[in-house]
Structure formats: structure tokens, C-alpha cells
Homo-oligomer: A and B are copies of this chain.
Amino acid sequence: MMDKSYWIWYYGDYELYHIMKANLRREERGYKRPIFWKQDVPYVNVKFQKTVDSDGGTLKAYFNGSGYIAVNGKRYNEGIEIKVPKGKCKVEALISKENGFPAIFIESDVCPSDETWECNYCAGKFIPAGYNEYFDEAQKNPEIFPFAYENKVPVNKRHINNGILYDFGTELFGYLNIVNADAKEKINIFYGESEEEAIDTEHSLIIDSVEGSKEYQLKQRALRYVFIETECKNIDVSVDYEYLPLEKKGWFKCDNELFNKIYDVAAYTFHLNCREGFLDGIKRDRWVWAGDAYQSARINTYLFQDKAIEQRTAIGLIGKKPVEQNINYILDYSLLWIIGLYEHYMVYGDVKFLSRIYEMATEMIAFSETRINSDGFIEGTEDDWTFIDWAEIDMTGAVCAEQMLLIAAYKAMGNISKVLGKKEEDAFFEKSEVLKKLVNQYYWNEVLGAFIDSYTSGKNNVTRHANIFAIMYDIAEEEKKRNIIKNVLENDSVPQITTPYFKGYELDVMSKVNGLDKVEFILNSYWGEMIRCGCKTIWEEFKPEETGIERYGMYDGKYEKSLCHAWGAGPVYIFGRYYLGVYPTAPGFETFNVEPNLGGLNEIEGVVPVGDGGVKVSLNHNRLKVKASKSGGTLIWKGKHYKIEPDVELVIDC
């Protein structure tokens, strides 16, 4: 009887490989466009080893790559049944692969390949091998990412100009199939997230061209619309929709149909961008960006609560030693990556992951510290991109919002070090506190009652961004928080945020400190307006005042704006976190609070996943019902605390 075997590899290389593939796959009108920051790669030769003490048995190995497996020093190729002698025995393998990543699968009644095997990269310490539960058969190739597929047909078809325009009803990602074509005809294909883009054959960003066959399957593309230049009337198309099969563990419904629509559209937008990692937008970059991913992880917590995608994303973003630049070149994204690690730990309680990523986290923060100027503030060099948001922030010298993130990153590193029992804990907390004082001293403007962007320019410019972070990461004291609410958040003369990315943070902060009134206003006016404009997915940026084709422009490109951008799915998080009111109070939701809030709604209902269980909340003006499938929950309602027993419905008349 053989024990359960998995493909094993150097921990992290599976994740890094698939993120790399995504990062190098971007294509625009006729040329490829790889990421413009450094792409790390898997190790090319990996040693695997295990010492067993057994009654003997056999093993048979399969390689992804080439090399050997050795039993007590005698080497063999793959595919050979090898005797494992009785008693103590050392089994080793050395596999190399130049393209892809080395991996091994061992069928055995003695030493099946699993996480109890150790490996190194022919240097470094031996660590437990990486594996993935899906790859449990020799025939499954770990270099092929396990997506799911579903055939989709257009909901609409129109003959226009010299071709046919198809509408799939909503955005998709997948492989376009064309059948009944004329093999002699050269067919040009123009994809569009909008109808305008698909038929604007001079400018549509993603195009293809085929000829010589009656049937085609094209490359994987994002599309809602596709325009096919053809004289053939019989042509038929469909899309093999490719997606990550994730279980929707969380949901939300309320009596406001617009909000329900926002939730559904946001959840769909988010799901389309959940692939090898958290992608930014499904059409254009399809790259993994740490800031976008930070927001995505929060959304994921309340929708799929899928740990694996967060870990793939984190590993893919940080790569391997040495850290030579900011993640995605962006000063703030490096810090958000660090902050996100601790938030990830709070949701999933995965100490093992934390301990494995710790070395790279210390490398990352040490790199960030190379950007600290003589005043003690983090400041981008010419090799860094100080992003924060697409907004008019005064970027002179050290920027306030970056300091807020560094304070939070130090705190996260302190917390992570504490979990892992690392001696660096105190130093990180100390650094966080020191910087917090400095920031209050240099950036707080008493006259304006707000944090200013820059203390060196003399402009005393106030934007929402730093002030939002100051509340989000609990950096401002209570009085300052009140000031910020009044002088910044509720002050319409401070420019509005235009990206749903930062709107997500704004909603978070407002929900936390200012009740849900303003939140509902923003949901209504900003996300609601997208829905009213007919958007089936959430956009990268949205300016209600823009109309017509100009709405699709960004980055100097007519259709460069992403119309399906994950960072717009923030409401999913807001509904789960602040309406259903569920959040962890110990790692992995071992304990959690449920603090429901009806806001201005009449009825809400939904489920939030809490680790290996879920909690269902329903609330209207008359009654609150809470039921969890696991222990550890505390209901907080009108100042009172109630213990939530597993599988017992708490019913409270309001």
C-alpha cells in the first residue's frame, strides 16, 4: 500500500514560478511588455533528502527536470522501482531544471514525497519541501497552474462595418474559440472591455490575427466584447473561461438593491483578478502589485478567505535574496507588503508561513531603511517610485503617508518577531514609536488640524491620504483623529480621492471612526454611479464627471484604463467587516468578535468565514441572529458581550 505522495519542490518556487509567468505574459498591440522591475526566478538545481528507519519497501521517483535519486549513495534515474533496505537509510535526490522549477514525486510505502522531505538549493540550510495538495499524482505537472474552465457563449452579436461584434455580457478571461471560419481568410480580432474599444480597430489594446484554418483557439485574453473582422457570415465564437476555482465562503445581502449589486459586481471583479496571485486588472497588466494585493487580501478575507493565494502573492512579490529594490519599484508597496504579512497571520494563524517568510521580511525592512534620510524619515530616491495613489500629493522630500506606513511596518515586524520569538521584537516596536513621535512633531499642522504631505516644501498641503493612514493604523491620538475627521474627511475642500483603491481605505477609516452614514453616501455616489453607468465590473479609476470615450483613457492610452480592477472591490470588505461586523481577535480567528451594524439599512444578512468555520449574521430593526459553526466568537451588541457557542443560534430582539 503506497502512502499519499505529492510533488515537492524548494519551498516558494512553485509560487514564484507561476507569478513570474503572469508577470511576463502582458501583451499589447503587437508586442510583449514584461514587468519593468526585477523578476526573480526559481532555483535551477535542488537537493531533496530524507532519512528513514523502516522495515524496508520500495520507491519509484518521477522528476520534473533531470537528475537522480540515490538510496544510501547509489544513484538511479526516475521511473525505476528501487528497493529501500531495512533499517536506517538515506534517500537523496538532486534535480535540475533550467526552465520551470525542479520538483520530484516519489511513490513509496516508506518515504512518499511530502512535506517531511527536506530540501535546499545546493546552498543554504535544508528546509521542509514545498508542496500543494492539488499535485498528488505523478501525472499532474506542477508547472501547469490548476485553473478551472467553463465554456461561455456570447449574449449578443451584431454585424457592423466589416465584421461581427460579440458581447459576452460581462468581462471574462479565457481562450477565444472561433469555428466555421474560412481557412483562406485572414481574420483580425479586436478585444474590448468596452464596446467602443472592441470596434475601434485602430486603437484597441489587445488584438490578434489568424489565418490558415477553419478553427482557432486564441491566446488567453480578457474581454467582454470581441470584434472580428471577417467576411464569413457563419463564424461562431465562444470563450473557454479560465478561472481559479475558489469557494465563496462569505456573502452579504441587504434590502438596498444598489448595494447588493455593488457587492456582486465587486465580488465578480475581484474573482476575475484572483489567479496565480492577486492581479491588479485582468485586461492590461495582469501583474501582481503589492499595494493592490494588500487591499485584495482584505477583500479575500471576507469572500474566499483563501490562504494559498495570499501566500503565493506574498512569495511572488518578494522573490529571493538579495532585495535590491522596492517591491514593484514602489516605496509604499514594500511597506504594505510587510504590514500585510501580519494581517495575513491574524486571519490564518499560519506560524509556519510566517517563519518561512521572516528572513525575506527582515531583508525587505532593512532595504526600506536604506531610504531613511538624515531627519529620520523614509524618502524615495531616484530609484524609487513614491506612489501612494493617483492623486495630487505634495511629493517634496519625505512624504507623510510613507512615514505612516513605515510606522505600521515596524509595528508589524515587531508583532511578527514576537510571534516567532525573535529577539528583534523590541527594536522594531521601539523604532515604530520613535518614528510616530517624529511624525507628529514634523507633519502635524496645528492650524490646519491635519497632517500635511511635506514639511520641507512649505506648502502645508493637506490630502486625505496620510490622514487616512494615520487613523487606519492608529497613529493619530484620539483628539487628532477627531480633528482629521472634521478637517479632512468631512471637508469637501480637500480633494476627493479618485481611485477605488484609496476609496477603499477611506471607507475603512470612516466605518471605523465615523459611523456608516458617510460610507453609504460614498457607496451610493461613487460605486453606485459606476453601476448606474452600466459597469459590470469595477474600474481602476472613476471620475463621475467624465463621459464618453475619454472615460476609458489612462496612462496616455485611449483604452489603457482597466475596467476590471481588483482594487475597486473594497465594499466586499466593508460589508463583511463593518456591517456583519466580524473580525479576528486572535490569529486564525481562534477568537473573533461579531459587532453587527445596520447603518442606514433596514436589513442585512450574510456569512463571514472564520478559519475552519463561518459565522452567519442577520439583522433588522427587530431582531439580530448570529450563528457560528465554530467556537471562539463573541457577539458585541449595544455594549454587551455574548459568548457565541458553536452551532447555537443567538437571537436577540432589538
Chain A interface residues (CB < 8 Å from chain B): 20-21, 24, 28, 30-41, 43-45, 47, 66-68, 75-77, 94-96, 98-99, 121-124, 321-322, 324-325
Assembled-state Cα–Cα distance A413/B360 (Å): 31
Q: In the complex, are the beta carbons of A66 and B122 less than 8 A apart?
A: no
- Least Cβ distance of A624 to chain B in Å? 53
- Least Cβ distance of A482 to chain B in Å? 44
Partner of A76, one of B31, B45, B121: B31
Closest to A124 in B: B324
Q: In the complex, are the beta carbons of B38 and A41 less than 8 A apart?
A: no
Closest to A120 in B: B38
Q: In the complex, are the beta carbons of A77 and B123 less than 8 A apart?
A: no
Q: In the complex, are the beta carbons of B32 and A68 less than 8 A apart?
A: yes
Assembled-state Cα–Cα distance A66/B40 (Å): 17
- Least Cβ distance of A322 to chain B in Å? 5
- Given A20-B98, A39-B45, A33-B122 contact (CB < 8 Å): no
Assembled-state Cα–Cα distance A503/B465 (Å): 71
Closest 8 CB pairs between A and B? A99-B99, A34-B96, A38-B123, A31-B77, A31-B68, A32-B66, A123-B325, A123-B324
Partner of A24, one of B33, B34, B44, B76: B44
Q: How many copies are assembled?
A: 2
Assembled-state Cα–Cα distance A21/B41 (Å): 17
Assembled-state Cα–Cα distance A37/B47 (Å): 9
Q: Which residues of B contact A321 (CB under 8 A)?
A: 322
Q: Which residues of B contact A31 (CB under 8 A)?
A: 67-68, 75-77
Q: In the complex, are the beta carbons of B94 and A24 less than 8 A apart?
A: no
Q: Which residues of B contact A43 (CB under 8 A)?
A: 38-39
Q: Which residues of B contact A98 (CB under 8 A)?
A: 20-21, 24, 41, 99
* Max chain B Cβ within 10 angstroms of own Cβ: one of A34, A68, A94, A96: A34
Known: A24-B96, A34-B67, A39-B45. 5 other contacts (CB 8 A): A31-B67, A32-B77, A38-B124, A321-B322, A322-B322
Closest to A321 in B: B322
Assembled-state Cα–Cα distance A183/B466 (Å): 76
Partner of A34, one of B33, B35, B40, B45: B45
Partner of A122, one of B35, B75, B95, B99: B35
- Least Cβ distance of A556 to chain B in Å? 8
19 of the cross-chain contacts (CB-CB < 8 Å) are: A20-B44, A20-B98, A21-B98, A24-B45, A24-B96, A24-B98, A30-B76, A31-B75, A31-B77, A32-B68, A32-B96, A33-B94, A34-B66, A34-B96, A35-B45, A35-B122, A38-B43, A38-B121, A39-B45
Closest to A323 in B: B123
* Max chain B Cβ within 10 angstroms of own Cβ: one of A35, A99, A122: A122
Q: Which residues of B contact A322 (CB under 8 A)?
A: 321-322
Assembled-state Cα–Cα distance A50/B96 (Å): 37
Q: In the complex, are the beta carbons of A33 and B121 less than 8 A apart?
A: no
Closest to A556 in B: B73
Q: Which residues of B contact A34 (CB under 8 A)?
A: 45, 66-67, 94-96
Q: Which residues of B contact A95 (CB under 8 A)?
A: 34
Q: Which residues of B contact A99 (CB under 8 A)?
A: 98-99
Q: Which residues of B contact A67 (CB under 8 A)?
A: 31-34
Q: In the complex, are the beta carbons of B39 and A122 less than 8 A apart?
A: yes
Assembled-state Cα–Cα distance A68/B20 (Å): 18
- Least Cβ distance of A254 to chain B in Å? 46
Closest to A32 in B: B66
Assembled-state Cα–Cα distance A122/B20 (Å): 14
Q: In the complex, are the beta carbons of B33 and A44 less than 8 A apart?
A: no
Assembled-state Cα–Cα distance A124/B325 (Å): 8
Closest to A121 in B: B38
- Least Cβ distance of A593 to chain B in Å? 43
- Least Cβ distance of A310 to chain B in Å? 24
Assembled-state Cα–Cα distance A392/B322 (Å): 39
Q: Which residues of B contact A121 (CB under 8 A)?
A: 38
Closest to A63 in B: B32
- Least Cβ distance of A64 to chain B in Å? 13
Q: Which residues of B contact A36 (CB under 8 A)?
A: 45, 47, 94, 122
Q: Which residues of B contact A41 (CB under 8 A)?
A: 41, 44, 98
- Least Cβ distance of A122 to chain B in Å? 5
- Least Cβ distance of A267 to chain B in Å? 33
Assembled-state Cα–Cα distance A593/B121 (Å): 47
Assembled-state Cα–Cα distance A325/B43 (Å): 15
- Least Cβ distance of A51 to chain B in Å? 17
Closest to A324 in B: B123
- Least Cβ distance of A581 to chain B in Å? 43
- Least Cβ distance of A471 to chain B in Å? 34
